[in-house]
Amino acid sequence: MIPLRRRSLFAGLVAGAAATRRAAAAETVHVGVSGPLTGPNAQYGAQWKDAFDLALAEVNPTAQRQIQYVFEDSQSDPRQAVAIAQKFVNDPRIVMELGDFSSPASMAASPIYQRAKLVQFGFTNSHPDFTKGGDYMWSNSISQAEEQPGLADYAIAGLGKRRLGVIHLNTDWGVTSKNLFAAAAKEKGAEVTAAEGFLPGERDFRSTLVRIRDSNPDCIVLLAYYADAATIVRQIRTLGLPQAIVAVSSVYSPKLLELGGEAVNGVHVITTFFPDEPRPEVQRFVNAFRARYNREPDTFNATAYDTMILASTLVNQYGATRAAVREGLAKVRGVPSVVFGTMQFDPNTRRVEGARYKRLVVKDGRFTLWS
């Protein structure tokens, strides 16, 4: 444990030193990151860092303009996120901002970025209003309007289920997802028999599952993150519920297998990122991640990696100023992406469309393509 942490600290220092040495030859460009490194969401900030370092190790050596990121810990707390925003917008080195993690923190800081004309790029911000904060709010977060019909299709057309019991996280993301899912399911001729919202941090789902069971579904749909999903699936199985389980892409994580154990066998998941996919972007990312960190990457890693690659592409193609980054986002086409294949933005919604969904099922403790 301790050696690992120390190693990453040293790695950071060494990388930093190397970057300054190279800076003599090429130009160094700074992006600001506002995200949780302490507090209840700290695990996600740690995942971002790993993916950022990996992406930069890949693109910086050959790039004309090399990116260095300044990570400020916000604990995903709006009060600290606005202070960080003020820090970044008044730091002339910063040409683009990435984050924050949660909607309350990100959207509280949006007015400051918008006023200062610094791009706030939210890569975990699926809240439908995030990019409505202004024309400097951009996001490559997977659109739930796209994902939920895909999920409903997996359950209804793929598995032939008609009665769906939904368990969702009771947050802005979870409620948005649930509403979109219910609409898609209805359109495809299925019925949502029950929709139960749970608070982050809850561990006991037994009574929730009795409610779901008594609504008599033939399939249970999970709109949650992987850690909660593992707990829910275990309790579904210990209660002896036989229904098929279908889950949203944020459940796809090697951690699901670790935390869920044998219980997660047979769980169906859709995902935008799947390490066994033969596409070269995916294989390059997965192999590099395994080699560097000696573990499997997940969707959060993949999104953060994509984002840093995008940042590098923007400053190298369009210039290292705030205005150039903003212009570049509207123009850029075909940025290689693990999640999307290639990324381009709709200048009106300031979001990316066309995520590619894979249908997976857990078999013998491994994610495999479902057919």
Partner 1 sequence: MGGAWFDYTVNGFVIGNIYALLAVGLALIYGVANLVNFAHGSVYVVGAYVGWAAITYLGTPLPVTLLCVVVVSALVGVGIERIGLRPLHGSSRIAPLLATIGIALVLDQVVQLLFTPDPRAVPMQVPEWRIAIGGGTVGALDLLIAGIGLISAVVLYGFLRFTKLGWAVRATAQDSDAAQQMGVDVNRVNMAVFAIASALSGVSGVLVGMYYNQISTAMSFEATLKGIVALIIGGLGNVPGAIAGSLILGLTESYGIALFGTSYRNLFAFVLLIAMLVWRPNGLFAARRSLPPEPMTGTFIARSRPVVVPRWAVVAVIALAALLPLAGQPYVLQIGANSLMYAMLALSLTLVAGTVGQVSLGHAALLAIGGYASGLLAMDAGWPVALSIPMAGLVTAALGTLLVFPAFRLTGHYVSIATLGIGEIVALVILNWTGLTRGAIGLGGIPPLEVFGLDLGSVEGTYWLCLAVLVLLALLQLRLLRSHLGRTWRAIRDDPVAARSYGVSGDRYKALAFGFGGFAAGISGAITAHAYSYINHETFGASISILALTMVILGGLGNVLGAVLGATLLIALPEAFRFLAEYRILIYGIVLLLLIRFRPQGLMGTV
Cα(10)–Cα(257) distance, integer angstroms: 30
CB of 325 closer than 8 Å to CB of 96: yes
Using the minimum distance from each CB to partner 1, give the nearer residue, 11 or 210: 210
Using the minimum distance from each CB to partner 1, give the nearer residue, 85 or 185: 85
Q: Is 103 in the site for partner 1 (CB under 8 A)?
A: yes
Q: Is 15 in the site for partner 1 (CB under 8 A)?
A: no
Q: Is 341 in the site for partner 1 (CB under 8 A)?
A: no
Among 197, 254, 319, 336, binds partner 1 (CB under 8 A): 197
Angle between helices 226-238 and 206-214 (to 10 degrees): 70
CB of 18 to partner 1, least distance (A): 20
Of 224-243, binders to partner 1 (CB under 8 A) are: 227, 230-231, 234, 238-240
Q: Is 75 in the site for partner 1 (CB under 8 A)?
A: yes
Among 15, 19, 26, 46, binds partner 1 (CB under 8 A): 46
Using the minimum distance from each CB to partner 1, give the nearer residue, 235 or 283: 235
Q: What is the DSSP string of 339-356?
A: TTEEE-EETTTTEE--PP
The DSSP output letter for 139 is B
The size of the interface with partner 1 (CB under 8 A), counted in residues, is 72
Nearest Cα neighbor of 246 from 271, 227, 277 is 271
Among 31, 107, 118, 304, binds partner 1 (CB under 8 A): 107
Of 20-39, binders to partner 1 (CB under 8 A) are: 37-39
Nearest Cα neighbor of 118 from 132, 142, 136, 140 is 136
CB of 177 to partner 1, least distance (A): 11
Cα torsion 49, 228, 2, 254: sign: negative
φ and ψ at residue 266, rounded to 5 degrees: 90, -5
Using the minimum distance from each CB to partner 1, give the nearer residue, 117 or 203: 203
Q: Is 50 in the site for partner 1 (CB under 8 A)?
A: no
Among 189, 201, 242, 278, binds partner 1 (CB under 8 A): 201
Query: Helices in 60-160 by DSSP H: which ranges?
Result: 78-89, 103-116, 144-153
With contacts defined by CB under 8 A, name the span among 168-176, 276-284, 306-314, 316-324 that binds partner 1.
168-176
Among 206, 290, 331, 363, binds partner 1 (CB under 8 A): 206
Using the minimum distance from each CB to partner 1, give the nearer residue, 209 or 338: 209
CB of 96 closer than 8 Å to CB of 32: yes
The DSSP output letter for 61 is G
Angle at 153 between CA 253 and CA 146, to 5 degrees: 70
| 3-state secondary structure at position 336 | strand
Of 302-331, binders to partner 1 (CB under 8 A) are: none
CB of 351 closer than 8 Å to CB of 141: yes
Cα torsion 217, 274, 147, 301: sign: positive
CB of 12 to partner 1, least distance (A): 10
CB of 24 to partner 1, least distance (A): 26
CB of 136 to partner 1, least distance (A): 13
